[in-house]
Amino acid sequence: VIVYAALPEVTAKTTGSVADLIKGVPTTVTLYEWTIKATGGTINATSNTTTLEWLKADATATTTVATSTLKLYKNGVLVSSGVTISANDLASSTATSGTIVITVSGDALAVEKDQTVTFTLKGDVTATTGGFIRVWLKGDATSTSYNFAWNDGVKTMISGYLVKGLPAAGTDYYQHTVLQQ
């Protein structure tokens, strides 16, 4: 029997698809946003990761995201320490898919008992006509191979590692496309 003092409850946000990128101009956008509620006690994400998946337009509609501009915000405030963000091929003009991994050390992303915190990942996106970027939470309700923050190391097939509220795969995306010009 496993007894937990606290469990996270996730609410994945979504924009669906919005046309807010200006052709050829780096535009800062919200790549993804989610909330965490600490149910039962304080939750700390020490030594865990959150994985987001991304999809971009193909090489004929070049889209890039400057990985150096990826920033994580907690309740609208930039998290300046205790978080490392890595992403494969986001800056490549030909890569079309991959992951963004948010790794935590210390209590940078702690959520106090019965509080809800909103996390927002932003970055600068440059795209040409037909370009887009789509991002969603990879640690979804059906995932068995990706971490989600606060899984406390227990890998289980039950409800996305015992995290309540995780969405079904691919249903909670943010997508930004180039404005029609």
The pLDDT of residue 87: 92
What is the average per-residue pLDDT within 68-72?
95
pLDDT band at 139 (very low <50, low <70, confident <90, very high): low
Report DSSP state, residue 14.
-
What is the average per-residue pLDDT within 71-82?
94
Among 33, 45, 37, 51, CA closest to 9? 37
Among 134, 172, 166, 139, CA closest to 29? 134
pTM of the model: 0.85
pLDDT digits 0-9 by tens, 99-114: 898 888 878 888 888 9
The pLDDT of residue 154: 46
For residue 84, what are the CA distances in angstroms to 6, 33, 45, 71, 87? 24, 17, 13, 9, 10
Terminal Cα distance for the chain, rounded: 59
The pLDDT of residue 181: 58
Among 173, 169, 166, CA closest to 151? 166
Other beta carbons within 10 angstroms of residue 111's beta carbon come to: 26
The pLDDT of residue 12: 83
**Would the pLDDT of 137 be above 70?**
yes
The pLDDT of residue 109: 82
